[in-house]
Amino acid sequence: MFLYNLRLALLSLRRDPVLTALMIGAVAIGIGMSTTTLAVYHTMSGNPISWKGDQLYAVQMDNWGPSQPYNEPDEPPPQVTYRDGQALMKAAKAKDQNLSFTTSFVLQSDKPDVKPDLVQARATYTSFFTMFDVPFEYGGGWSKQADQDAQQVVVLSNAYNEKLFGGTNSVGKEVVLNNRRFQVVGVMKPWNPMPKFFDAQDDQFGEPEDLFVPLNLIGPMQLHNNGNNSCWGPPANNSFQGHLDSECVWLQFWAELPTQADRDDYHAFLDAYVQEQKKLGRFPRPVHNELHDVPDWLAYNHVVSKDSEALVGLSFMFLAVCMLNTIGLILAKFLRRSGEIGLRRAVGASKTALFYQYLVETSVIGISGGILGLVLGWAGLIGVRHLIEDSDHLARLDWTMVGISLLIALVSSMLAGLYPAWRVVRIPPAIYLKVQ
Amino acid sequence: MEIRPILSAMLRNKTGAILIALQIALTLAIVCNAMFIIHDRTSKMARDTGMDVNDIFVMTMAAYKPDYNADSAVHANLDLLRSIPGVVDATYSQSVPLSGGGWSDGATTTPDEHPKSTVDMGVYHMDEHALNTLGVKLIEGRDFTHEEISYIDGDKYTTPKLAIVTKAFGEKLWPGQDALGKTFYEGTSGLTVIGVVDTMEGTWSHWEGFERTVIFPTVLESEYMRYLVRALPGQRDEVMKVAEQKLGAAHTGNFVRSIHSLEYYRKSETSNDRAMTVMLSLVTALILAITALGIVGLASFSVRQRTRQIGTRRALGARRIDIVRYFITENWLITTMGVVLGSVMTVALNFWLVQLYDLPHIAWYYIPVGILCLWALGLLAVLGPALKAAAIPPAIATRNV
């Protein structure tokens, strides 16, 4: 029966090729446009560490000046100071915790004729690799001892290992960074969480840094922060150490807190810490500490661009127009066949059978429009990559998105087909038989 | 032309008319708001920056030799750059104009360690070649002299005593007064305005204070130094090659980390705006095309369905023009219902966008212009089917009866 209906549908669609093309084209363009915008939105609003994102908490402490909040209304800064970050690391009150910031190194080759290279790096603790489940190709993170002693060890990104060592196992080899020799202890597998949740202040859709080194090298090597830096009040003195002791916020602090009890304890610990600091004359504002898990944190930092949100809204309105268009055309087409329908009803076809037949016809339009729409959406994403710089990771189609778009295509075209099919089988046969 | 018979005919087939009217309403809402955003973005991109954007390029240098000396390197690098034929001038600059990354701070008119409210400003650290390199216009006061530039270790920054500010900054801090000679404060450090420049866009194009720019006479010496260079008109690309090669071979302990035109920075900073403009233009074009084709399709159907009626009318004396007028009027009625509903939708959609983007509301004239466009579109779309209807011979009426 299905095959028979399908044959009828194809026959009917072939009878009016221009109209069929218009209907399928409208569905396809609507689906294509919404797929493109939704795919970008989907990546932007993704949870890159969904399996434990609700256990990882970004820590905020309000160390800001007395007269103005960091952000209206009364928002604490999104990053922490060096001294608070180090104090929280030392206290080690969470299951695990991590402090990091983004910096850069000049990497020099042993070969004198090779030009030096400025490489983006993240200075951090070894907990970074375990807390954020960083996958390793070779070796692994450095030891806790290396953290404490500020050893000159480095973890390379997969791409940078490819560039420096041709992708071979480089663990144990040396690289020269800012004129110091570093030992490679690990090479990551390709790792690109999207959005880059662990540092939501800078370049949220960029790739992670290429080098990872112990944060405690900051003193001996005078490492500078490359990311966002915000200050209130003048530094105690104008020196490198002065900046470390200042109220400037520029480091990211994360705590791993698996249970609600852990979170409550940690919150209490933070409050006590701030009370303690208040005695030293710091933290002039009321105690205001906040913990955000990964999805919350991405929302708090407005990772999803407003343009993307607006485009999703507009493209779904656009899809609605395409669907109204198709409903109108299908309806007109079916109504023109009223005579035929009347005849079939008169010779005994049931309403259900006819309804089923017309639903198959509209589904054919919907599914072909949907598939063509996916192709258009895919082409649209290529277009977006050309339009927006560094958006290769942003404009992509994963299997979830393919599923979602097919579902949208199917559901919207079924809805579009339902009304005309229902309308047309309600035609009383007698009227149309009269004129035959 | 009597509207009543058309209306009663339409009422007998409400669904088709309602579908088109809804389609037109949504189209009006989308097109008006898309045009509104496109206008906002293109005017942002076309804005006069006050600088000679096309002839400027940016070099970033990074130290790599253990014996690197920032002070001697910056002097040697800049002297070398200024000596290259085709270079108009070059300056040290802590940040790149129009690039989206830089230094901002709050200014007040009185010294205050913890000011309640400040006027935010984009801060550039540059030397006495800044104005000439950028090509900005000094409208009052004077430029920095060589002696006024402080060359200091980047880690030991202190606020300088002098500044050159934009007219926009002066107007915001001292409304209705002349900024020249006045003192403003960064916390408790006072800065005296020695010069006022006309337009000079800062680094964040989306910030409402993008025109509030100040230049401090400071060179912050560190492992990373950045230079802005202005070439003679049309010679930028050749000069860039020479500069890269000469500074690369200069043995100052640093290397050319990157070299890009200012145009490049501006383009990548505005790439989202350009993408938005392209996407919205595409949406607008496609939606108008689909709506027009939808009208053509449905009008053709109704012509075919009413072939016999049209034949009868013609046989009873209706002229061709009457038939054309019938279809045009019918379409006009549907379009008008659509645009009335669409005007409401336009405003509703605009409320959402305004809330999302923090933009001013859509200007009122977008709606009447949009309505005129959709009337024209409807007219053009229905013309073909209407003419076809007019061509139906009266004899048709006698068949099949």
Looking at every residue in chain B, the average pLDDT score rounds to 90
What are the b/e assignments for B234-272, b being 16+ CB within 10 Å? eebeebbebbeeebeebebbbbbbebbbbebbbebbbbb
Rounded distance, CA B58 to CA B224, Å? 13
d(CA B308, CA B400): 9
Torsion of CA A141, A146, A151, A157, to 10 degrees: 10
Q: Choose the mutation target among B10, B15, B282 for the interface with A, i.e. most A CBs under 10 Å.
A: B15
A183-215 pLDDT, tens per residue?
999 999 999 888 899 998 877 888 899 999 999
pLDDT band at A237 (very low <50, low <70, confident <90, very high): low
Give the pLDDT confidence of A317-338 residue by residue, as tens digits: 999 999 999 888 888 888 877 7
Report the C-alpha gap between B241 and B259 in whole angstroms: 9
Predicted confidence at residue B173, as pLDDT, reads: 93
Q: Between the ranges A34-38, A96-100, B6-10, where is the mean pLDDT highest?
A: A96-100
CB contact under 8 A, A317 and B356: no
Using CB atoms, pick whichever of A106, A309, A324 lies closest to residue B64: A106
**Structure-model confidence comparison of residues B2 and A24, the more confident one:** A24
- Res A435 pLDDT > 60: no
Q: Write the burial class of residue A271 (CB in 10 Å: 0-12 exposed, 13-18 middle, 19+ buried).
A: middle
Q: Which residues contact B390 (CB under 8 A, 6 or more apart)?
A: B320, B321, B323, B324
CA distances for A365 relative to A264, A324, A434, B53, B292, angstroms: 55, 14, 32, 52, 20
Q: Which residues does chain B have with pLDDT short of 70? A: 1, 397, 399-401
Question: Under a CB-based contact definition with an 8 Å cutoff, are residues B352 and B267 in contact?
Answer: no
pLDDT band, very low/low/confident/very high, at A432 (cuts 50, 70, 90): low
Per-residue HEC secondary structure of A215-271 comes to HHHHHHHCCCCCCCCECCCCCCCCCHHHHHHCCCECEEEEEECCCHHHHHHHHHHHH
Strand partners for A249: A230
How big is chain A, counted in residues? Answer: 436
| pLDDT of the residue at B157 | 82
Contact (CB<8Å) B357/A224: no
Q: How far apart are CA A162 and CA A174, in angstroms?
A: 15
A321 vs B349: CB contact, 8 Å cut-off?
A: no
For residue B11, the SS3 value is helix
**Using one digit for the tens of pLDDT, what is the confidence trace for A357-380?**
888 888 888 888 888 998 999 899
At residue A395, does pLDDT exceed 80?
no
Give how far B137 is from chain A: nearest CA, Å: 31
C-alpha–C-alpha distance, residues A366 and A411, integer Å:
8
> Is A329's CB within 8 Å of B113's CB?
no
CB count within 10 Å of CB A138 equals 21
Chain B environment of A224 (Cβ under 8 Å): 222-223
* Pairwise CB contact (< 8 Å): B290 & A309: no
Mean pLDDT calculated for residue range A271-279: 93
- CA-nearest residue to A115 within chain B is B255
- How far apart are the C-alpha atoms of B277 and B366, rounded to whole Å? 17
B residues 96..135 contacting A (CB < 8 A): 113-118
Half-sphere exposure of A52 (CA within 13 A, CB side): 14
Residue A436: predicted pLDDT: 43
Which residue in A33, A306, A328 is closest to B20 by CB distance? A328
pLDDT of residue A154: 96
For residue B379 the two structure tokens come to: 């007219």
How many C-beta atoms surround the C-beta of residue A407 within 10 A? 11
**Per-residue pLDDT, B401:** 43
Tell me the ipTM for this assembly.
0.84
Residues of A in contact with B278 (CB under 8 A): 387
Assign B243 to helix, strand or coil.
Answer: helix
The pTM of the full predicted model, rounded to 2 decimals, is 0.83
pLDDT surpasses 50 at A293: yes
Predicted confidence (pLDDT) per residue in B147-189, tens digit: 999 999 887 888 899 999 999 999 999 999 999 999 999 888 8
Q: Does A285 touch chain B (CB under 8 A)?
A: no
